[in-house]
Amino acid sequence: MNRNGPLALLFHALFVVFMIAPLAVVIWMSFTPDNLLKLPTTTLSLRWFYAILNNQQFINAFGLSILLGVIAATLAILLSVPAALALSRYRFPGRDGLVAFFLSPLIIPHVVLGVAFLRFFTQAGITGSFAALLGSHVLVIFPYGLRLVLASLTASDPALERAAVSLGASNWTVFKRVVLPMMIPGVAGGWVISFIQSFDEVTMTVFVATPSSMTLPVRIYHYIEESIDPLVASVSTVVIFGTFLLMFVVDRIYGLDRMLVGPTK
C-alpha cells in the first residue's frame, strides 16, 4: 500500500485549511451581535438570522434562485441527453466542431456573455423577464450536464444495446431498459452540478436581472455595495449549511460517488 509522505500530508492539510478557512470566517461573523462585519469576541447572537426573516427581498431572491435553478437544470439535462446520445453513438463530419460549440460557454468569459445577452434581450424586448433569465442560465450550465451525461455514455458498453436489438427489443425498449439505467449516474450528477452552477451564477446574471427579478447571488452583490452589516454573512451561512445538508441527504439516499463517478465494479 502506498502511503503519503509528510510533505504530501502537509500539502493536503494546508489545502483543506485554505478552502475551509474563508467559509469558517463567514460563518463565525454571521453570529456577531454588532452592526458591522467583524468576528464576535464576547457573545454570540442569532440577531442577523432573524433579520433574514424580516427582509422580503432576500426571501424573494432565494425563492427565485431555487425555482430558476430547478427549471434551468432540468431543461439543460433534457437537452444534454439527446445531444450526448448523438455524440457518443455516432461518428459524422463536424462532430468535433459540434462538441466544441456545445462546450464553448465554458471558455467564454461570463462578462462577455452578460453583455451579449443584455443586447440580445433588449432587442427582443424581454430584458429582466424570467424567460430571459432561464434562457441565459440554460445556455451557461448546459456544458456541465452534457459532459457528465456524455461521460456516462462513453463509459458504457455499446454491445449491451446491440444484444438487446438482436433479441428483438424496439428502440424505445433499448433506451428505457438498457441505455437509461447506464445514464442515470451522469444524468443525476449533471443535474446537481447544473443546479449548483445556476444557483451560484452572478457575473452574467448581473447584466440580465432587473430589480424585480434578482437572484440571491445578485441580491447579495448589490447589498454589499449599499451596506456593510452582517446580514450578508448570515444569508451566506444559511446557503452554506443548506448546501451541506443537501449533499448529505443525496449521499445517504443515492451516493455522491455513484452520482458523480458512476457505479464501481
Cα(163)–Cα(7) distance, integer angstroms: 51
Distance, in Å, from the CA atom of 218 to the CA atom of 209, rounded to the nearest integer, reads 8
Higher pLDDT, 89 or 70: 70
Torsion of the alpha carbons at 265, 189, 116 and 206, rounded to the nearest 10: -140
Q: Which residue has the higher pLDDT, 92 or 81?
A: 81
Reported confidence tier of residue 1, pLDDT bands at 50, 70, 90: very low
Q: Closest by alpha carbon to 114, among 209, 198, 215, 222?
A: 209
| Nine-digit cell string for 167 | 433479441
Average pLDDT of the chain, as a whole number: 84
Joined together, the cell numbers standing for residue 74 give 432540468
Predicted model pTM: 0.83
- Quote the pLDDT of residue 174: 78
State the burial class of residue 34 (Cβ atoms within 10 Å of its Cβ: 0-12, 13-18, 19+).
Answer: middle
Angstrom distance (rounded) from CA 165 to CA 254: 30
pLDDT, tens digit, 9 for 90 and up, residues 129-174: 888 899 999 999 999 989 888 888 877 777 777 787 777 777 778 7
Instruction: Note the pLDDT tens digit of each residue in 188-233.
Output: 888 888 998 899 898 899 888 888 888 999 998 888 888 888 888 8
Q: Please report where in the chains the cell 451579449 appears, as a residue.
A: 116
The per-residue pLDDT for 189 is 83
How many other β-carbons are positioned within 10 Å of the β-carbon of residue 264? 7
Q: Domains of the chain (ranges plus CATH)? A: 56-260 (1.10.3720.10)
Closest CA to 105 of 82, 78, 77, 137: 137
Residue 37 has pLDDT above 90, yes or no: no
Residue-level pLDDT at 138: 93
